[in-house]
Amino acid sequence: MFEKGVTADIEYFNPSEPPEDVLELNPTGSSPTLIERELVLYDARIIMEYMDERFPHPPLHQMDPVSRANTRMIIKRIDQDWFQLLDEILTSGEKKSARAKKMLRESLIAARPIFESQPYFMSEEYSLIDCALAPLLWRLPSLGIDFNTLGPAITTYANRLFAREAFQLSLSKEEKAMMPQSK
């Protein structure tokens, strides 16, 4: 929403205790939940695509169907490969969490050539893929994964995302506290 310059009322809530009015519209009680008139969406990826279609400027998705389908597949892989490990780190016991942290770190390092090849993830332009990756990368230091161990390309890429005004505006107070240098 901030990338699009869209104004909205944003309410943060504890995902383990969603408000009753959210539960009435979103039976999962998950966050984020987008409520716009009669529309209720509660999957971050679907919300991102909807926002890009609803507010087409600046475009964060390529216009041709093949490129858009490829972007969707990349985001699906990021969800399956990296966000699944993030969830395991956050919800598992110490041993499983350590294993998932090691796997996430190694998987990011294995993808280093992708981060080195272009300014944004597999693109010259900022896109929905970068929107999907930014929250994961932002959480790494709070999980004990040091950017310096991932290599300069990943650090440079992450800092490029984090420096975007829209990204900084999107952070909640709790998210801002995850990074020592954030304000």
d(CA 12, CA 115): 32
Q: What is the pLDDT of residue 179?
A: 78
Q: What is the pLDDT of residue 180?
A: 62
d(CA 64, CA 81): 26
d(CA 43, CA 58): 22
d(CA 145, CA 82): 13
Domain boundaries, the chain: 1-58, 65-176
Enter the CATH code of domain 1-58: 3.40.30.10
Q: Mean pLDDT in the chain?
A: 91
Q: What is the pLDDT of residue 62?
A: 82
Return the CATH class of domain 65-176: mainly alpha
pLDDT tens string 56-90: 998 998 888 999 999 999 999 999 999 999 999 99
pLDDT tens string 92-125: 989 999 999 999 999 999 999 999 999 999 999 9
Terminal-to-terminal C-alpha distance of the chain: 20
